[in-house]
Chains A and B, each alone.
Chain A
């Protein structure tokens, strides 16, 4: 099939960008969206035009590198799918497809479709971990964890940090990203010690990075490629209130 693409081209963070039209031929249904862009880039190279830059790496939906808006939807809008796992069987011959980077103040565009998501790392550095110094751990089975708890913690821990949640939110809120980590740690017994400080520090870091507020529209979880539940946000809100009232000393 043949597609018409409107792709955001921007040289660097200092210049402004614009949509550029391209036609791409020979697209087949078993190709991924990124492989379709590879074909476009190959044809651009052969014409001595600079290829379109986009972040990507594992191409199996786990590294979290890739991600951009396809026809206005983060990762293209197929449920639980990163754009590297978006297959062209979801498109038809002659379709016009608009491709643009995540749009969020906290994710400035670096070039074309690549954005800077290091704000996420700074949020994790503020407290998104359990402080367990190497060498001090006790035997893994001394702490039995009920299977449903382990499973729920895993569901939250599956976040790949791609930023689709921020891009899909009209307020560019990072609540789903932060709440996924807060939920994982709050559910596990190992996470109890720093439970209050963690949520407070991470929420403060999120505000510092100028992510927007959450207005409960759940656009984030609708596009999340790992299906992180909106309930994690509910949990984070309750964790935050709990921390505010009782503090880290569990204050009753």
Chain B
């Protein structure tokens, strides 16, 4: 597998602009002759479809929801970063770049991250012009707040519903292109395979979820904007349907899979309350601007929080990380909470949670001010837990939230398969081993509005693309394989539900490939996943029809893919013999229990190449070089 990052050399400040100046273009009159297949309509997919439609390309969008606006980007709460320096607090493009590289524990590609920071400022302008109702100061200017891993206020927000407002902005722009017929919507379609002709991605097979029909669609390029795979843990903050299927099937067609073990466990989620639980709900990181995290100093302290005097509380983030306090990056905060609970200081019925307390902020700023900043988050919390966070501290615990790993892409956002692009959370590109808060929305929109439209033109303009049709044998064969797989799922007729397998996989992943990993646990996970996968294909029960809306069948296919993917994730974690960011290998830590990188051996991206059913995939590497930042032990103290 050839991994040419195409990252430009020369001064990083001008690299993107110089690179862009030399990309090939497609003549406006010719663009409508080119069809682009866009899979997924979240922030990445919708913004890319809108931009490409505006340029005049013919874009076909595919999504398994009934409406593009349901994509999981809608649930992002806290905000979006941009290096505007509106607060006059010393922010700059370099600083956003630096924070992101450092936050990711030096496992991301410098050139990509610098470009991300550079276009961040354009994103805010674009969104404002679309009517996104960002929070404002009394003078009418845009308001900012702080997120973890930074010492400036660069996060723009729309109450606790920033993702919703940004997605509706992108969706609106895309719907404008639907009106002009440059963009077509194919709702309730799930992608099952990528079709490759003459070594290039030229089409996809999708299942029409209402009729069960397998449809073939062809075009000049395929873009996967299909999000992340946190649901490999079963319980996560992702929407229930978020899955790995599209990128997994692309991987099986030759796309390299990068750093799959890099999964972010978010520190502030509402803790699990029972076995029936279907979903973990995030409480935005923005809450750590005003909330203080603590546990009692006494183990298994039975007292109510209000009865524990100040002197008997351990504000462990403030204690361990005085410089950043409650706003340390997510991986650091999550691990600290886990350590507190593992040592018996956790609170609540299960002892698996810590307090996030707003009492001081309410005293300092007043009830009304806290309500205007976080009102809807407090409402969600109360709705779920039946406790009033204005009076009783929230209880929180870490939960799987975002996946930094994904399909390997070069500087053009193209995978190792020519013509197959991956954007947003589906690719691996910008966040290294840990994503900073409010950077996912930034990356999705950067890819879609300001990067892909340039790089995809370079591919289309510079690549000879023969005419293809649905009658090509490659389409017929792909469709046949997809059909066989569906038939095989129905044929098992075993005795266990799909949910049962998903829960067991999730438990194995959480216990062994979660917040702390070690060699023994990872080897155990690999063996367990193999067994579970075998059992699935002997004993799963898929009900309903194949020619009708059938969520059981959809779920079965996704869980089957998670059962394969989970193994590669564990393998990736096993082979990375260092700790970095989210990837905390217990064997590799400093005396203060901080992750210890091994830059000599592991300053690289690990890229996995498929080698066939039940074969161990091949591990390749893309070396990372750092010319604009100095590699240091991350220090938030």
Contact = CB atoms under 8 A, between A and B. Distances in A.
Nearest to B134: A150
B384 A132 contact: no
A234 interface: no
B164 A118 contact: no
A58 B75 contact: yes
B281 A60 contact: yes
B491 interface: no
Contact of A154 (B159, B282, B384): B159
28 contacts: A28-B274, A38-B278, A42-B497, A48-B543, A57-B239, A58-B279, A60-B75, A60-B279, A64-B67, A64-B74, A85-B383, A111-B548, A116-B66, A118-B67, A126-B179, A129-B175, A132-B126, A132-B129, A140-B124, A140-B142, A141-B84, A147-B137, A147-B140, A153-B131, A154-B133, A161-B67, A184-B133, A190-B131
A138 interface: yes
Which 6 residue pairs of A and B lie closest in terms of their CB atoms, listed nearest first?
Answer: A144-B140, A129-B172, A137-B129, A137-B125, A132-B129, A154-B133
A111 B129 contact: no
Interface string B58-72: 000000011111111
Given A85-B383, A121-B178, A188-B133, 5 more contacts: A12-B549, A30-B386, A38-B278, A129-B175, A161-B69
Contact of B125 (A45, A124, A138): A138
A129 B136 contact: no
A117 B67 contact: yes
Interface string A136-155: 11111101111100110110
Nearest to A112: B549
B392 interface: no
A140 B279 contact: no
Contacts, number: 215
B173 A35 contact: no
B133 A65 contact: no
Interface string B453-467: 100000000000000
A77 interface: no
Contact of A147 (B127, B136, B552): B136
Q: Which of A126, A127, A145 has the most CB of B within 10 A?
A: A145
A250 B635 CA distance: 59
Interface string B149-177: 00000000011010011001001110110
Contact of A146 (B140, B173, B175, B379): B140
Contacts of A147: 136-138, 140
Given A39-B276, A42-B497, A63-B72, A137 B126 contact: yes
A65 to B, nearest CB: 5
B449 A121 contact: no
B187 interface: yes
A157 B168 contact: yes
B172 A124 contact: yes
Contact of B65 (A31, A65, A127, A138): A65
Interface in B272-286: 273-274, 276-279, 281-282
A11 interface: yes
Q: Which of A11, A132, A141, A144 has the most CB of B within 10 A?
A: A132
A53 B267 CA distance: 33
B471 to A, nearest CB: 30
B172 to A, nearest CB: 3
Q: Which of B74, B138, B173 has the most CB of A within 10 A?
A: B74
A188 B548 contact: no
Nearest to A78: B383
Contact of B543 (A51, A55, A124, A153): A51
B241 interface: yes
Q: Which of B84, B136, B239, B273 has the most CB of A within 10 A?
A: B136
Nearest to A115: B66
B139 interface: yes
A114 B188 CA distance: 12
A101 interface: no
B141 interface: yes
Nearest to A48: B543
Contact of A143 (B66, B128, B159, B499): B128
Given A28-B276, A139-B125, A130 B549 contact: no
B70 A65 contact: yes
A131 interface: yes
B298 interface: no
B263 to A, nearest CB: 19
Contact of B122 (A51, A53, A137): A137
A144 B139 contact: yes
B54 A134 contact: yes
B386 A87 contact: yes
B618 interface: no
B629 interface: no
A58 B130 contact: no
B187 A110 contact: no
A32 B383 CA distance: 10
Contact of B240 (A57, A61, A128): A57
A173 B240 CA distance: 30
Interface in A64-119: 64-65, 80-81, 85, 87, 89, 110-111, 114, 116-118
B366 interface: no
Interface string B62-105: 00011111111011000000001010000000000000000000
A11 B498 CA distance: 21
A149 to B, nearest CB: 8
B197 interface: no
A49 interface: yes
Nearest to B165: A157
Nearest to B541: A45
Nearest to B450: A134
A9 to B, nearest CB: 12
A172 B491 CA distance: 43
A158 interface: yes
A139 B127 CA distance: 10
A204 B69 CA distance: 22
A235 interface: no
A35 B277 CA distance: 7
Q: Which of A45, A46, A55, A61 has the most CB of B within 10 A?
A: A45
A39 to B, nearest CB: 6
B383 A81 contact: yes
B516 interface: no
A144 B142 CA distance: 8
Contacts of A118: 66-67, 187
Contacts of A153: 131, 133
A125 interface: yes
A211 interface: no
A252 interface: no
Contacts of B383: 61, 81, 85, 87
A89 B74 contact: no
Contacts of B179: 125-127
A3 interface: no
Interface string B588-607: 00000000000000000000
Contacts of A217: none
Interface string A23-37: 000001011101100
A61 B178 contact: no
Contacts of B279: 58-60
B302 interface: no
Nearest to B67: A121
Contacts of B168: 157
A181 B169 CA distance: 11
Nearest to B277: A35
A106 to B, nearest CB: 13
A59 B128 CA distance: 28
Given A38-B278, A153-B133, A154-B133, A134 B453 contact: yes
A170 interface: no
Contacts of A60: 75, 279, 281-282, 380
A154 B54 contact: no
B544 interface: yes
Nearest to B449: A134
